[in-house]
């Protein structure tokens, strides 16, 4: 596959998904940078509230993905995109199995290096674990309900792209953790998410509509996780302040989950 074609794919996907996300995140970040130190508390309260504006872009992406299942012109775009990719005979590499988690690894790595995000280790682990649980709760049933055949005809679990959903959930998690302190760093995770979505198509595992829906559902999952966090934290912590809790997300045998260790 030519490097020129890969750049075109990356640009097209980035302008469609990443560009729309950035339009909103830039506005949010300008407000955050102009705020005083006292606004940190207000910002956290804002994250805990369910803001419908944060769901406009991801809902549009999901809507496109769903529409591509039935609308003739959008289905044709799926086929033409695949035909264009196959003309260049790209190598089928499996980096997308790893890049979907790259943003969350960056968050924990940056924290270990002293570049702290909005939440501490325990709290961010609860949030990310919740996001992964929501993502799985959405993607797995939908795959079996819709039963869309994959481009390579390997099975009928194409819609929606689980890899892309995880990738954008992870990227949006990185954005939420660093948007108030380092805007450029916070959006860097979206490049890994876009790469993951592109390679799901290059590997002939998903249609364009599958990837768009996956991106939307991934962002929605993380938004819901931040909204649910105060309620989950209260449930886990209980009334006793002497209790200690360790929460860790895990990935094993293609299964994502969250582990809880609680000392009384």
Q: What is the pLDDT of residues 148-205, one digit of tens each?
A: 999 999 999 999 999 999 999 999 999 999 999 999 999 999 999 999 999 999 999 9
Contact residues for 180 (Cβ-Cβ < 8 A; gap 6+): 29, 32, 40, 43, 118
Name the residue among 67, 25, 68, 65 with its Cα closest to residue 217. 65
Q: Tens digit of pLDDT for each residue in 8-27?
A: 454 445 544 544 454 344 44
pLDDT at 89: 76
- Classify 246 as helix, strand or coil: strand
Q: Cα-flanking dihedrals φ and ψ of residue 257, to 5°?
A: -160, -170
Query: Which pair of tokens denotes residue 10?
Result: 């990356």
Q: Cα-flanking dihedrals φ and ψ of residue 104, to 5°?
A: -70, -35
pLDDT at 217: 98
Across the range 104-111, mean pLDDT stands at 95
CA distance 80 to 64: 16
Among 24-28, 33-37, 210-214, name the one with the lowest average pLDDT. 33-37
Q: Cα-flanking dihedrals φ and ψ of residue 249, to 5°?
A: -70, 150
């Amino acid at each position: 596959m030519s490097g020129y074609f890969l750049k075109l794919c990356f640009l097209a996907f980035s302008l469609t998904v990443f560009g729309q996300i950035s339009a909103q995140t830039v506005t949010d970040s300008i407000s955050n940078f102009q705020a005083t130190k006292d606004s940190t508390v207000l910002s956290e309260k804002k994250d805990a509230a369910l803001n419908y504006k944060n769901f406009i872009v991801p809902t549009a992406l999901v809507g496109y993905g769903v529409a591509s299942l039935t609308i003739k012109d959008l289905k044709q775009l799926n086929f033409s995109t695949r035909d264009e990719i196959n003309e260049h005979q790209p190598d089928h590499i499996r980096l997308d199995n790893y890049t979907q988690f790259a943003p969350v690894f960056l968050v924990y790595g940056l924290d270990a290096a002293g570049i702290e995000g909005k939440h501490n280790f325990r709290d961010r682990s609860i949030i990310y674990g919740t996001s992964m649980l929501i993502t799985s709760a959405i993607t797995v049933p939908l795959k079996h309900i819709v039963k869309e055949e994959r481009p390579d005809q390997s099975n009928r679990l194409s819609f929606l792209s689980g890899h892309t959903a995880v990738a954008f959930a992870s990227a949006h998690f990185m954005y939420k953790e660093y948007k108030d302190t380092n805007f450029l760093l916070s959006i860097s995770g979206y490049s890994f998410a876009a790469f993951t979505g592109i390679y799901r198509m290059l590997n002939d595992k998903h249609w364009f509509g599958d990837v768009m829906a996956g991106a939307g559902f991934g962002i929605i999952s993380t938004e819901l996780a931040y909204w649910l966090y105060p309620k989950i934290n209260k449930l886990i912590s209980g009334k006793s302040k002497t209790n200690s809790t360790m929460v860790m997300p895990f990935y094993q045998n293609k299964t994502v989950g969250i582990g809880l260790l609680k000392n009384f």
